[in-house]
Amino acid sequence: MRVRPGKSSRPRTRTRPQHADAVDGFVIAVDRGRYTCVLSGAERGVVGAELPTVTAMRARELGRKSVVVGDRVSLVGDTSGAEGALARIVRIAERRSVLRRTADDDETTAEGRLERVVVANADQLVIVSALADPPPRTGFIDRCLVAAYDADVEPLLCLTKADLAGPEEVLGYYTELELPYVLNRPDSDLDALRSLLSGKVSVLVGHSGVGKSTLVNRLVPDALRAVGVVSAIGRGRHTSTSAVALRLPPVPGVDTDPGWIIDTPGIRSFGLAHVSADSLLHGFPDLVEGTVDCPPNCPHTADEAECGLDAWVAAGKADPRRLASYRRLLASRAGEGDSRGDSDQRGPGEGDRRGPDE
């Protein structure tokens, strides 16, 4: 009779492999549990050379840690990049920055509690907005600015379709911020934009229909991102379906790293439930100084009689629309009303108001 050994006679070790031979990689795409990476050596290799890619999956020791586009990771296994080869991601480097959003502003809802990491390790958030067809949505731009400041990512406003409308009213709305911006027309050479993207990892966000995919295809001709059209009611159609990092082509005569752009799907909401109410003010630096005369723990709401922001705006030191936008975000962040409220500014002087995210 054969007696099987008991479990106690087969002790398990808690020692985990150190993976000293792991190579560093950069995640450029995520697709149903498969991660496309480029090796760090190739990422910084010959400018203009085609980058070999490695397909990988998450190792079990990562547990529930998510891997997103922009992550710096350590890879083991078959990192040759050959067809059918599969490596494993065993470590995720500490993230320099994390750009997040939620589907809802209210943290008491399931959508508000679920944070979505858009990208990791970005240096710059490029907010793409059309000046016409569809008209600019300053409410959405405000939300992106709050998310950028919260993630410690530099914002850049990219205004497209400048051949259809002038930028004066939109730029006037943000004049106190000294927000860097660039104008683009269908016939512009994009040199100004390329110089602002050079050497950085930049994330492009914007509503569908603002020309983001067209812009990506002009910056990276081999990208072949799908391009849609704007519907008769002024709404864009979703064309990009997943985030992907694309290396910018080299600038002739320049040997420096041209940088990366991360194209994200067109989104209709940028929930801020993950941003604390106090941190919302960082998205409005033109209002910060106006809070000096506020009482302790001032909520900065419109019904607070001693809030110093009203006097600050009345003195002409900030645009009243900026204060209205800030308080609208405060109200939606606290769950007091719809985050798609009817008081959105689609653009100064524009009609057909639909809400801050549409």
Binding site listing for GTP: 160-163, 206-214
Contact 245, 28 (CB under 8 A): yes
Dihedral sign, Cα of residue 309, residue 151, residue 138, residue 330: negative
Phi, psi (rounded to 5 degrees) for 189: -90, -5
Element of type H or E holding 172: helix 168-173
Q: Who contacts 157 (Cβ-Cβ below 8 Å, separation ≥6)?
A: 127, 129, 141, 174, 179, 180, 181, 182
Dihedral sign, Cα of residue 16, residue 19, residue 20, residue 26: negative
The binding site for Zn(2+) comprises 294, 298, 300, 307
Q: Who contacts 198 (Cβ-Cβ below 8 Å, separation ≥6)?
A: 248, 251, 254, 256, 257, 258, 259
The binding site comprises 160-163, 206-214, 294, 298, 300, 307
Q: Alpha-carbon distance 159 to 126, whole Å?
A: 10
Q: Alpha-carbon distance 192 to 178, whole Å?
A: 17
Q: Alpha-carbon distance 49 to 76, whole Å?
A: 24
DSSP lists the bridge partners of residue 56 as 35, 87
